[in-house]
């Protein structure tokens, strides 16, 4: 998955990076992974930036990212990696 963001950040190295709101986007699609239409929301596409690089913890391309869409994170990341619980039956019926 690649990135669609509400703004463009230029670090001075000749490349553009995402800033503001960040969503996951599959190239060739007209909407994000959470269903936001790119054109109507005014989102810029970044086909050279992976969505995993926009996590503020990792650094990477996340210098100017203010908000990462939680629905897009849920759509692109397995539950185990997000720290979620796995479903388990605790009291089975007879």
pLDDT digits (tens, 9 = 90+) for 42-60: 999 999 988 888 887 776 7
Residue for token digits 């019926």?
93
Name residues whose C-beta falls within 8 Å of residue 47's C-beta, 6 or more positions apart in sequence.
2, 27
The verdict on pTM exceeding 0.85 is: no
Beta strands in the chain (DSSP E): 2-9, 17-25, 44-50, 64-68
* pLDDT, tens digit (0-9, with 9 covering 90-100), for 7-32: 998 877 778 889 999 999 999 999 99
Alpha-carbon Rg for the chain in angstroms: 16
With contact defined as beta carbons under 8 Å apart, do 35 and 81 qualify? no
């Amino acid at each position: 998955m690649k990135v669609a963001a509400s703004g463009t950040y230029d670090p001075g190295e000749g490349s553009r990076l995402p800033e503001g709101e960040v969503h996951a986007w599959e190239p060739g699609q007209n909407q994000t992974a959470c269903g936001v239409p790119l054109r109507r929301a005014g989102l810029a596409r970044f086909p050279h930036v992976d969505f995993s690089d926009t996590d503020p913890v990792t650094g990477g391309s996340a210098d100017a990212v203010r908000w990462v869409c939680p629905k897009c994170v849920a759509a692109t990341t397995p539950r185990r990696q997000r720290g979620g619980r796995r479903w388990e039956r605790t009291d089975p019926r007879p």
